Amino acid sequence: MTFRAVVTGCVVALISVFVTALIAVPIYVQAAERSSREALATQANVVAALLRAKSFRRVPPNERPTIKQLSDQAVDVYLLVDGKVEPAGLPPQLVQQVAQGKPVSVRFAPINGRLSMVEGRPLGEGDGVLLARGTGTGLTKQVLKSLWVPVLAGLASGVLAGILLGRRLARPIRNASIAAARLSSGDRSVRLAVERPAEVERLAISINELAEALATSEGRQREFLLSISHELRTPLTTIRGYAEALADGVVDQESTAGVGRTVLAEAERLDRLVADLLSLARLEAADFAIEPTEVDLADLIRTAGQAFAPRFAQHGLELRPELPAFPVSVRTDPMRLRQIVDGLVENALRVVPPGKPIVLAVRVTPGRAVVEVRDGGPGLSDDDLAVAFEKGALYQRYQGVRKVGSGLGLALVAALARRLGGTMEAGHAPEGGARFTVYLPHTVD
């Protein structure tokens, strides 16, 4: 980057020098030419005034000091006497014009094979004087010859500016590259100093935010893995203990059935935990199957309530449906949506005490269809609501306090809702417990 900045600075400096030269040199040359013409006109007036004096006209031309001074200044003097010019070489039309008593002021006239500016003044009776000076002042050549000085100065300034700019720009980018490499190697303590310009400042802030997000995410993953490993180890320990007891023959025949039921229950618990883990993993895959079709939410929730009715009765809970009298049509996958509802109801069945209600509700808001599962259980705090859909968050808080599942259920239903094009929200229910709301795009009939 420093090399490119140096090259760019040199190119910009050279372009600036040459553009300035292209604009300034013609203007300067034109101004010099105008000044030269004005000076020649003044000299012509002076010589004409001197020649009008009789005493000056008697002096031979080669002895007149004014004419000698003009010759030294590269000005050619032509005297017109009785219509004849000396020395020869002037265009006839200019000589004729002065002989007729008319002044001459010509910017370009061919004299002896070169272009010259000519100023002529009549003296009367066919006499006159004409002064000629070449138009090539040599200024352009002089400027071009001396152009190497500003070119070298421009190159030097371009190199200096390029080095300074390149280092200024490359340093924060190099620091960001080093920080990214350290992040990729697992170092989450990387932080960049926030400094200007604005683009570099935003880059540093983004790198710092990325490092913090990675550290937070990995911390949660570690906590989740610790929680899952504990959950896996507990039933495995129970199964292993009973298996060793059976192998050693310390379990009598009367206790065998009870041991078998315990081992079966722990195996089913392991199966549920592994199934939830697999479901979460599949949700992140691109080929996760979604088969959308037109679904009546009211009918789907009514069917779910009927399926759970025996378990509600077994736990002494009140099932309270709140369904509209009209169909609520959405385009979604009914199996996945039913999986969300079942997961939320299972979560409520685990914590709601007997005699309390569980509400299955469907309603419509502008542009969205809403499915709610509310309960009269212990509910969640505001801090709980903020992390309700994070894997294992509520499990860690309430393990040993209330009945908990695998710690993956709410994370699973939230991920399913996102895959269906909807959103999940947790809140406080008017029944005193928790409220979980699923928002889906509503198909307007």
- Cα 243 to Cα 68: distance, rounded to the nearest angstrom: 133
| Closest to 118 in 3D by CA, of 31, 32, 41 | 41
CB 119 within 8 A of CB 104: yes
All structural domains of the chain: 2-145 (3.30.450), 205-287 (1.10.287.130), 293-441 (3.30.565.10)
- Cα 132 to Cα 44: distance, rounded to the nearest angstrom: 9
For residue 114, the surrounding DSSP H or E stretch is strand 114-124
Structure tokens at 137: 């002042």
Q: How many CB atoms lie within 10 A of CB 365?
A: 9
CB 90 within 8 A of CB 116: no
Q: 239 Cβ partners below 8 Å, 6+ apart? A: 263, 266, 267
What is the C-alpha radius of gyration for the chain, rounded to an integer number of angstroms?
51
Q: What is the pLDDT, as a whole number, of residue 101?
A: 86
> Does residue 257 sit in helix, strand or coil?
helix
Q: What's the one-letter identity of residue 307?
A: A
CB 122 within 8 A of CB 85: no
pLDDT tens, N- to C-terminus, the chain (445 residues): 556 666 676 676 667 766 666 666 677 667 777 888 888 888 888 888 877 765 445 545 554 566 667 777 778 888 888 778 878 888 888 888 888 888 988 888 888 778 888 888 888 877 888 888 877 655 556 655 666 676 667 667 767 776 776 666 667 777 777 888 887 877 777 787 777 777 777 888 888 888 888 887 777 666 666 556 655 666 787 788 888 888 888 878 778 888 888 888 778 767 766 776 676 666 655 556 678 899 999 999 998 888 888 888 888 998 899 999 888 889 998 888 988 888 888 888 888 889 899 999 999 988 899 999 999 988 888 888 888 888 766 766 666 666 655 557 788 788 888 888 899 999 999 998 899 999 998 866 5
- Cα 215 to Cα 183: distance, rounded to the nearest angstrom: 10
> Does residue 111 sit in helix, strand or coil?
strand
Q: What is the pLDDT, as a whole number, of residue 299?
A: 92
- Cα 443 to Cα 330: distance, rounded to the nearest angstrom: 5
Strand stretches in 333-413, DSSP E: 357-365, 368-375
* Contacts of the segment 133-142: beta carbons below 8 A, 24+ positions apart: 133/36, 133/40, 133/74, 133/75, 133/76, 134/74, 135/33, 135/107, 135/108, 137/29, 137/32, 137/33, 137/36, 139/25, 139/28, 139/29, 139/32, 140/25, 140/29
Q: What is the pLDDT, as a whole number, of residue 56?
A: 47
Query: Which residue shows structure tokens 């012509």?
Result: 44
Strand stretches in 278-352, DSSP E: 293-296, 318-322, 329-332
CB 214 within 8 A of CB 188: yes
Q: Would you call 203 exposed, middle or buried from its count of C-beta atoms within 10 A (0-12, 13-18, 19+)?
A: middle
Q: What is the pLDDT, as a whole number, of residue 276?
A: 65
pTM of model > 0.85: no
Q: What is the pLDDT, as a whole number, of residue 204?
A: 82
Q: What is the pLDDT, as a whole number, of residue 370?
A: 93
For residue 398, the surrounding DSSP H or E stretch is helix 393-398
C-alpha dihedral over 364, 370, 374, 379, to 10 degrees?
-120
